[in-house]
Structure 1
Amino acid sequence: MSAGHSDVILERMMSLHPKIIDLTLDRVWRLLAALDHPERRLPRVIHVAGTNGKGSALAMIRAGLEAAGGRVHAYTSPHLARFHERIRLAGALISEPDLAAVLEECEAANGGTPITYFEITTAAALLAFSRAPAEWCLLEVGLGGRLDATNVVDRPAATAITPVSVDHQQYLGETLAEIAGEKAGIIKRGVPCVVGPQEEAGLAAIEARAAALGAPLMVHGQHWHVAEERGRLVYQDERGLLDLPLPRLIGAHQVINAGVALATLRMLGMDDAACEAALVRADWPARMQRLTRGPLPDAAPRAEFWLDGGHNPAAGAALAEALGRLPARPTYMICGMLNTKDVGGYMRPLAGRAARLYAVEIPGEAATLSAAQTAAAARAAGHDAAEAGSLHDAVAAIAAEAPEARILICGSLYLAGRVLRENG
């Protein structure tokens, strides 16, 4: 198969359903049955849901399991630079021939019937996982939980729910309790679930689901605790206390994500060495990631470049906190966002963290806000904002004004993916 053949198949798959998101499990169950149920032939599954932090927590869980000698499959979304990032087979990104093969098999089994892009590509991932030897399989929920295409495993080894906040109300419900109830849909009868810090209404919804199914919970603040103390991470549960290095991933929110990962690993019987490896070996792109090479850093060689793909109010607050921890330096933001996001909610916590925000469109994204719209939203949220025709134009403007600036590119995983394709 020629390189890039998977891209052709994926392009065809985009047209199989008129909607990008249409939450139901009927279509994916039909396809999995046609494929002889690969979801029943997986290694031990760990299923992770949440609004923010699920990808980071999953990356830390993977690092810990691999350090303990396990072969680990992992399914995450969305991808940043190329689709292959979504499917990791026993530690390595899926190869182009393997990806094209499972995509073609799913396309043939589907027979042209309506199915969303995420549903059919999730089925392809499960098919690939069912055929490659491994001890563990990590599944990250795409959206919600109860009706997400990943929610097809009857009895995972464990589930985990990172902090839940209000997001995607058009699909998951208007209230925090409704949204948390959808996330809690991954909880299975008798299967233990690790729960990160939650607001009261969200925790109540999760506890109600767990009680109905007899699923044991390990809840932050009740069964486990995590904090940063004197430059170290301190974690405690009924097994005892761990004094560990801070996570490799930057930000106080990553301490919470680390707690979810550690609670999960401890529940699965992993030792202290695996727990430490979870923190110091995990890698998760576009989460306060330092950029050091490529056309953008080359255009401002004295500047410090960072990239973050967060895009909702909780992510904006976490990013503001992370910026506040960095050494003092003139900071400028380059921001592009989609019209499906709470732009003001994301922007407000970041007001005052940057000397100026340059707004850009996200190239190639139909749902992008214009630079003018993003700039207007930023000003309404308290920023000194200007428009830029492109990322390169924004970098040039910043470099002319403050050559040694800290430049943060943020607001969207789609923008982050564009940056990584060109500067990763």
Structure 2
Amino acid sequence: MILTNLRLCLRQEVIHGTIIVQNGQIVGLDSGISRAAGAQDCDGDYLLPGLIELHTDNLEKHFSPRPGVIWPALAAVLSHDAQMAGSGITTVLDALALGDVREGSERVRSLKTMADAILAARADDLTRAEHFLHLRCEISYPDLMDLVEQLATPDVVKLVSIMDHTPGQRQFTDLGNYRNFYKKKFSLSDVEMQAFEAETMARQARYAAPQRAAVVATAQRLGLPLASHDDAKPEHVAEAAAEGMRIAEFPTTLEAADLSRQAGMKLLMGAPNLVRGGSHSGNIAAADLAARGWLDILSSDYMPVSLLQAVFLLAPTDAELPAAAATATATPAEAVGLHDRGRLEIGKRADLLRVRLHRDEGAPPLPIVQGVWRAGRRVA
């Protein structure tokens, strides 16, 4: 396959040129327009590496599109997959929550069904993007380690993150925010909220510390990368650094972000935060980290299309595009050990994203997906 008349987003520059793909790999990158027979003229569009998503719970919306509605699992996976590929994402780490703040929640009941459906789709090569698992471990959940032992296989799992959604921890260092969030989420009265908070605190006191240690030990034994989640205080970062975390997901304060960076962790923030101009939960803005040069990895989180939008918001000029694109391609690939993809380079896997910018006066340019290839095969 020869694609020509493209703006190729390389490691340090954007060039006008041609890419040649054979047997699923990039075998040629040349400047200028190819006159070879069969070369496809791409009208001056951008060509980026396929995007790499490390933390998305988008599958849950397809599995349960409305309260009380459960969609057939394999069909839900394929619907989710089509949305990811259509957004330019060629590698997906589906974030599965192992445990919840409430026992018996829909998230917990659906876990095995969703995991089995992802694995079945992988086994039969039914998906457009390549799917792996990201295990989000709720360390206060009593049955967490049973779930970890069932799912933690290195060929499928590429990331393990540590979560603690109890009052006073991470995202909920402010108890007022915690109470407001869960009262609204679960429609709790004041009395019910008090009982819920007390039960959650008791579970945290009993399970959190030993299960955190067990999750970290399991990940280290299996060689799986670790990520912290929602760190807010210096002691949170110190704990994560001592455990060898590679990624700091969604730090909630500038102090935690800075300390995580100094400890050698890659900072991951939500692309919706960047597109919307701030955090929907009142935490730090991704744009503030980007302005400081601290934003390493973007995740579409709950909105797949946001990942590509955020890349181009970070890059108002072609000179800035390589660094911006790396936040959704090369850096996440390297952080989880997927070294065969993430860059337009000879020998890398031909995961490719063709993009055209739509310009509307008074609005930022909107990137429109024109074509997506995974290992040289057209998938969108």
Is the TM value for this pair above 0.5?
no
TM-score using structure 1 length: 0.28
Q: By percentage of residues, which structure has more strand?
A: 2
What TM-score do you get using the length of structure 2 for normalisation?
0.31
- Which of 1 and 2 has higher RCO (CA within 8 Å, sep 6+)? 2
